[in-house]
């Protein structure tokens, strides 16, 4: 495995750091990724077939029950040392006047719970549910819904404010993410498979604009070949060690 020394040096020398995190970071908190085998009552379903507007239109009860199970699982879990290390890295950067941008594909808001600020959420969040009729959004932090799908005050169905397959990413979030990738001089890709675009494009954009690139993931990805340093180990192990060495 790559030694941490050159990455530590690159972090110290950087004027602008951008970080992209994916499901692998939250998996270490006990949250299954979309590519993990589903369990229990959901074992016979393909997540990719539930996470679509068409699936919601066909069977809103089934889709919202599945997402509510994920919401409750997130509620029972906690940020791990990898999340906390990134919050500490942001503080370290701010104290030194280094630009720091955290971009995530995750919908659980564990980064914010760990102390990260101004997180760019490319895929929305499972904590906010939006009315499909009037567009009203409401944060849902309680127990299971009383009925599925949950209803808005106007009577419309509520759906999770996440980006489903076939939907566009939030324009403002995507624009900020691309700007960060284009202007950083160090880009870290952490816990992401590198398979889902346009998030997977960010490390390529950073590389094309001359940034040094780091991959931290438990296994190689399609982006591994273009990275300057690849660390194939759990982020919750690597990141605390990396950030601790910055002091």
**Taking 90 as the threshold, does the pLDDT of residue 129 lie above it?**
yes
pLDDT digits (tens, 9 = 90+) for 19-50: 999 999 999 999 988 766 555 555 667 777 88
- Kindly state the average pLDDT of the residues 229-240: 96
- Mean pLDDT, all residues of the chain: 93
Range of the domain at 148: 40-76+127-162
58 shares its domain with 118:
no
Of these residues, 123, 209, 232, 244, which one is catalytic? Answer: 123
Q: Are 203 and 230 within 8 A, CB to CB? A: no
Residue 35 lies in a domain: no
The DSSP string of 159-181 is EEEEPPTTSPPPHHHHHHHHHHH
Determine the pLDDT at residue 55.
Answer: 96
Q: Establish whether 123 is a catalytic residue.
A: yes
Looking at residue 224, what DSSP letter applies?
A: G
Rounded to a whole number of angstroms, the CA Rg of the chain reads 18
CA atoms of 145 and 140, how far apart (whole Å): 9
Q: pTM of this prediction?
A: 0.94
- In percent, the amount of the chain with pLDDT more than 90 equals 87
Last residue of a domain, one of 108, 140, 162: 162
187 shares its domain with 222:
yes
């Amino acid at each position: 495995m790559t030694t941490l020394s050159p990455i530590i040096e690159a972090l110290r020398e950087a004027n602008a750091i951008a970080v992209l995190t994916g499901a692998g970071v939250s998996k270490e908190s006990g949250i299954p990724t979309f590519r993990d085998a589903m369990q229990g009552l959901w074992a016979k379903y393909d997540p990719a077939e539930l996470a679509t507007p068409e699936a919601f239109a066909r069977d809103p009860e089934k889709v919202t029950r599945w997402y509510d199970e994920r919401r409750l699982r997130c509620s029972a879990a906690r940020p791990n040392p990898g999340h906390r290390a990134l919050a500490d890295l942001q503080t370290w950067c701010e104290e030194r006047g280094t630009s720091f941008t955290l971009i995530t594909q995750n919908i659980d808001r564990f980064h914010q719970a760990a102390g990260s600020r101004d997180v760019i959420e490319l895929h929305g969040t499972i904590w906010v549910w939006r009315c499909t009729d009037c567009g009203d959004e409401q944060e849902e932090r309680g127990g299971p819904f009383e009925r599925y799908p949950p209803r808005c005050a106007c009577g419309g169905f509520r759906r999770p404010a996440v980006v489903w397959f076939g939907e566009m990413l939030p324009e403002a979030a995507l624009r900020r993410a691309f700007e960060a990738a284009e202007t950083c001089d160090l880009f870290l890709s952490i816990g992401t498979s590198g398979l889902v675009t346009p998030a997977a494009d960010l490390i390529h954009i950073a590389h094309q604009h001359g940034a040094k690139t780091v991959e931290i993931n438990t296994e190689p990805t399609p982006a591994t070949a273009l990275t300057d340093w690849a660390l194939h180990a759990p982020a919750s192990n690597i990141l605390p060690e990396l950030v601790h060495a910055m002091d």
